[in-house]
Amino acid sequence: MRHPIIFLCVTGALLLSACSDKNNPDVDRALQDINVIDESGLNDVMLTTADPNEAVTYFQRATSEKPDRIDLARGLALSLVRAKRHTEAVAAWSKVVDHKDATNNDRVELADALIRNNEWDRADKALDEIPPTFETFKRYRLEAMIADSKKEWTKADSFYETAVGLTTRPASVMNNWGYSKLTRGDYAGAERLFGDAIRQDQKLFTAKNNLILARGAQKKYSIPVIPITQEERAQLLYTLGLSAIKQGDVAIGKGLLRDAIDTHPRHFEEAARSLNALEENVSN
């Protein structure tokens, strides 16, 4: 029971000291430290839970008041990315990179913003300015994406493999790698990677849909054993039906569309519309 009393006494002493000498530099420094802690907590909230556009407004005001603070400049750049304001994000990250305290991680974030803004050549140059000894998951994931854009498949595979080894949550990069294989026509390789992504993250529906695309391209018109909800199954049957029709297997495709409509827990408008259009085209 002594600790609360001691705490109150110490707090009271500090308050009395502050009242007796407002110009005491130790008191000023202590109050400044408290303000920095409070501001840091607010910055974290703005970067994680706040509405992205509200966070942008907050950091714009903060950086205008304290333009030399690189942490605030980073906050603004990150908030602009969250708000999907990619052109502004590129400009913000460029300012961060020009700061005297900029890091290699800042340069990786600039490259990420450039890719989001579809500026692939500039992103490539931004990554080239980073020493090869700086090895992070995000750096290699971006390197892989750029190699993909250039159709440099061997380099892309190497970068994807390195990125997978640098994270404990590789599902998203496995999905990207699988999509890369899909665009090259390596459907079996894509199917394997999408399956790996789903095992890492059973909620990643994009990987499930991509898996079906890879199987459909191989004329495998069945859904493998993967964790899915009833609505997801209907969506995947719809994707598989469209894939079968694209392959010229119209009868199979129509059957899959009907299965999708019957499986969906509610009215499946897209599948019903596709089936009606297909049947009307056949009858005409």
Residue 215 lies in a domain: no
Q: Tell me, yes or no, whether 263 lies in a domain.
A: yes
**Residue-number span of the structural domain to which 261 is assigned:** 229-284
Task: Decide: 76 and 59 in contact? Cβ < 8 Å.
Answer: yes
Greater confidence (282 vs 192) lies with: 192
Say which residue the tokens 């969506």 belong to. Answer: 235
> Does residue 78 sit within a domain?
no
Whether residue 235 lies inside any domain: the answer is yes
| pLDDT band at 50; cut points 50, 70, 90 | confident
**Residue 52 domain flag:** no
pLDDT value of position 1: 40
Residue 239 in tokens: 């994707």
Residue 272, C-beta contacts closer than 8 angstroms, at least 6 positions apart: 261
Q: Which residues contact 224 (CB under 8 A, 6 or more apart)?
A: 195, 211, 215
- Please tell me the distance from the alpha carbon of residue 209 to that of residue 224, in angstroms, as a whole number: 12
83, 52 Cβ separation under 8 angstroms: yes
121-132 burial, b at 16+ Cβ within 10 Å, e below that, comes to ebbbebbeebee
Mean pLDDT value across the chain = 88
For residue 163, pLDDT over 90 is answered with yes
Q: Is residue 260 part of a domain?
A: yes
Rounded-to-integer distance, Cα 7 and Cα 54, Å: 37
What total of structural domains would you count in the chain? Answer: 1
pLDDT value, residue 16 = 37
Residue 22 lies in a domain: no
The answer, yes or no, to whether residue 17 has pLDDT greater than 80, is no
CA angle at residue 119 from 117 to 123, to 5 degrees? Answer: 110
Pseudo-torsion of CA 47, 174, 113, 127, nearest 10°? 120
Do the domain assignments include residue 199?
A: no
